[in-house]
């Protein structure tokens, strides 16, 4: 698929972890804990999203079965990072700039002085770069959790490239 292809995803209730990892990989992925099949399908259709599901029953519904709503079946038994790798490889998607893992909004770097009151003094003292979600306003910085996520994404990229 062309590099300009920026799909959006609608993840079923079983794939909350995948939605978060897709956001970390730079893709907009919606997810609701208690969404029903028909609501998920309607949302995907209305918003032009690719439906991601582990529920084979959804593929019996006409508009999914017939491809009116693009969908991808995620095999059972895969760990979250394996699910991410499956989606990236299957759709031939590159990793992009990370998005907010909570809501999928875009992250924008903000000046240190704007976050001084929002982070601990210790964090403020040892970091220079802070990012804010343009949608939910959650604050992020490149601490150990960020580094762990980056390492997992690098591993996914390496594994994906070997698969191609």
Query: Domains along the chain?
Result: 8-90 (3.40.50.2300), 107-163 (no CATH)
Taking CA atoms, 75 is separated from 83, 94, 151, in Å, by 8, 21, 24
Task: Give the span between the Cα atoms of 154 and 139, in whole angstroms.
Answer: 23
CA atoms within 13 A on the CB side of 83: 23
Of the candidates 63, 20, 23, the residue with the CA atom closest to the CA atom of residue 43 = 63
Give me the tens of pLDDT residue by residue for the chain, a chain 164 residues long: 444 568 999 999 999 999 999 999 999 999 999 999 999 999 999 999 999 999 999 999 999 999 999 999 999 999 998 999 999 989 999 889 889 988 999 999 998 888 878 877 777 777 778 899 999 998 887 766 666 776 777 676 666 556 55
pTM (two decimals) = 0.81
CB-neighbour burial class of residue 73 (10 A; exposed 0-12, middle 13-18, buried 19+): middle
Helix (H) or strand (E) holding 133: strand 130-133
Of the candidates 161, 117, 164, the residue with the CA atom closest to the CA atom of residue 139 = 117
pLDDT at res. 135 = 92
């Amino acid at each position: 698929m062309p590099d300009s292809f920026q799909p959006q995803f609608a993840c079923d209730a079983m794939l909350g972890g995948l939605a978060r990892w897709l956001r970390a990989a730079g893709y907009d992925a919606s997810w609701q804990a208690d969404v029903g099949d028909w609501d998920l399908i309607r949302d995907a259709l209305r918003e032009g999203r690719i439906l991601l599901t582990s529920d084979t029953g959804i593929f019996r519904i006409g508009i999914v079965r017939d491809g009116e709503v693009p969908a991808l079946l995620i095999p059972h038994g895969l760990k979250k990072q394996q699910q991410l790798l499956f989606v990236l490889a299957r759709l031939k998607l590159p990793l992009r700039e990370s998005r907010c893992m909570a809501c999928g909004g875009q992250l924008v770097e903000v000046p240190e002085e704007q976050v001084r009151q929002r982070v601990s003094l210790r964090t403020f003292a040892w970091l220079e770069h802070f990012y804010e979600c343009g949608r939910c306003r959650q604050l992020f910085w490149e601490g150990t959790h960020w580094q762990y996520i980056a390492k997992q994404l690098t591993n996914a990229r390496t594994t994906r490239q070997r698969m191609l």
